[in-house]
Chain A
Amino acid sequence: MHKQYILSLLADLIKAFGETFQMVGISLAISIALGIPLGLLLYVTSKNLFWENKALNAVSGFIINVIRSTPFVILLVILLPITQKIIGTTIGPIAASVPLAIAATVFYARLVQASLCEIDRGIIEAALSFGASPMQIIKDVLVPESMPGLLRGLTVTAISLIGYSAMAGIVGGGGVGDLAIRFGYYRYQTDIMFITVAILIVLVQAVQMGGDAIAEKTNKK
């Protein structure tokens, strides 16, 4: 009886972890693919930069702010029709990845923008003076020079995603956080709640330390 209980708990945990990794992994990949270009767009269209464009900068900034100021739970629900269109269902970790990816992308874009702002403008001026094209500056100056900041931002985004993914349980996304809420909270199984929270703490610690270590390695300043 006791053994069976532990076995079923273990199975639930493994499944939940798989779902969490799936959700966080997919949305993190998308936030890298879209958040970095979006952050770059915000930066290079800002004042005194080579693609300065007030309108584009203001519009993209505004859209990001709208998404960021919407509470994630609401975003999750609002995006249901879109998720249905893209994925074909609104249930499960892959469907939950749609709102997660959108929230993470705009979040990461701001972090990307912030770390780009840390680059000394003189370095960009130097590249311009050597005849670099905007694309060369983006590829050879902006991205490599801000790499430690980009990686730190990615770590922060990944950890936020682990937190957000708990809310994805509401739309049947599953995951560790969802397990903690359903079993630990609704069913008063305090032991499960503690175990899952403990595992989440370890997970967040591991991501933070790993992220810091990689960021430090790329930091040549």
Chain B
Amino acid sequence: MHAVRNADLAIADGEIFGIVGTSGAGKSTLLRTINLLQKPSSGSIIIDGVDITRAKGKDLRNFRLSVGMVFQHFNLLYARTVADNVAFPLHIAGKTKNEIGGRVPELLDLVGLSDKSSVYPSTLSGGQKQRVGIARALANNPKILLCDEPTSALDLETTNALLDLLGDINRKLGITIILISHEMAVVKKICTKVAVMSEGAIVETGNAYDIFAAPVHPFTRQLVEHTLDLELPPRLLKEVKGALVKIVYRGEKAEEPVLSDALRKHSIHFNVLHGKIEYINGKPLGVLLIDTIGNKEEIQKTIDYLKTRVESVEVIHA
């Protein structure tokens, strides 16, 4: 039995790389392989051209200093104050009291917790605990930050604030972030590249935008559809008069008046039933569900016309 097999990933410097999949898909195992908390039974992990797969003892510990990790359940030391938690990795790295004393306030400032330095973690909210977790993970200036479901224990608002923080950190420090989540929404918000995992295998990899706009693997499609949430109530589905068409716009095409052009050229009516525009890395992705009403020929012509103007047109129900 293998928890994860054939996981081929190339992650570039400075990227925010997302790994998504349902629970039990092997995301955590894969992430833990990167800092060797989990040893792979075969294959290798190469970071900056160095194969670290067989690192042991002191070499392994030194390597781990260059990889920070943030956990779903924070995993803070409850017997230590916030400042001492952040100081912990510095202490492990053998930094002097002076160095630690200078670095800790910097880190707390970075995550916006300067006023909490001497309190104990149990008095903090979930979002604040995770900020401590992030500050701690960044203490030794790692090149890579591994985030294991960093927002899954948090509410929506806190999640957004934390993702913004991670994005800021990525821009400010140029650190590579590898983030796993079971939520496409999290990935959509900050990741530049995405790998989709299902049953222990990576089924699709690509730019976050492409994965959303044109998912290929059935599992990815299902995930994306679930995130876009364009389901129609059954009553509406029954009442569809013509052909129910799903139109997907990408990039600048989403900003063109495609629908009114189509109406002017063909004698049909449109009834918009559902739709939304998502912005992924600032690029728009539009999806519309339209009931096209008119005679069969006109509908077909309209669809053919739309196909020339947008990313994809799919007849869901005729």
A residues in contact (CB < 8 Å) with B: 120, 122-123, 125-133, 136, 140-141, 144-145, 147, 218, 220-221
Contacts and interface: CB of A to CB of B under 8 A. Distances in A.
Complex A-B, nearest 6 residue pairs according to Cβ-Cβ distance, in ascending order:
A131-B64, A126-B75, A131-B61, A122-B75, A129-B69, A130-B89
Interface string B143-163: 000100000000000000000
A130 B64 contact: yes
Contact of B79 (A122, A125, A132, A147): A147
A132 B92 contact: yes
B245 interface: no
Contacts of A129: 35, 37, 64, 67-69, 146
B62 A120 contact: no
Contact of A133 (B61, B79, B121, B122): B61
A215 B148 CA distance: 33
Given A126-B69, A131-B62, A220-B122, A140 B75 contact: no
Contact of A125 (B75, B78, B88): B75
Contacts of B64: 128-131
A132 B67 CA distance: 13
A129 to B, nearest CB: 4
A218 B80 CA distance: 10
B253 interface: no
B216 interface: no
B141 to A, nearest CB: 13
Given A130-B65, A131-B61, A145 B79 contact: yes
Contacts of B91: 140
A144 B136 CA distance: 18
Contacts of B68: 129-130
Contact of B71 (A126, A220, A221): A126
Nearest to A124: B75
Interface in B57-97: 60-65, 67-69, 71, 73, 75-80, 88-89, 91-93
A131 B35 CA distance: 10
A161 to B, nearest CB: 27
Given A130-B65, A220-B120, A136 B92 contact: yes
Contacts of A136: 92
A97 B38 CA distance: 47
Interface in B218-276: none
B93 A131 contact: yes
A94 to B, nearest CB: 36
Contacts of A144: 77, 79-80
A127 B88 CA distance: 9
Nearest to B73: A122
A147 B77 CA distance: 12
A220 B146 CA distance: 28
Contact of B75 (A120, A131, A132): A120
24 contacts: A126-B71, A129-B35, A129-B37, A129-B68, A130-B65, A130-B89, A130-B92, A130-B136, A130-B139, A131-B60, A131-B89, A131-B92, A131-B93, A133-B61, A133-B92, A144-B79, A144-B80, A145-B77, A145-B79, A218-B79, A220-B120, A220-B121, A221-B78, A221-B122
A128 B93 contact: no
Contacts of B69: 126, 129-130
Contacts of B71: 122, 125-126
Nearest to B67: A129
Given A130-B92, A133-B61, A144-B80, 12 more contacts: A120-B73, A122-B71, A128-B37, A129-B68, A130-B64, A130-B139, A131-B64, A133-B92, A220-B120, A220-B121, A221-B78, A221-B122
A91 B205 CA distance: 78
A218 B78 CA distance: 10
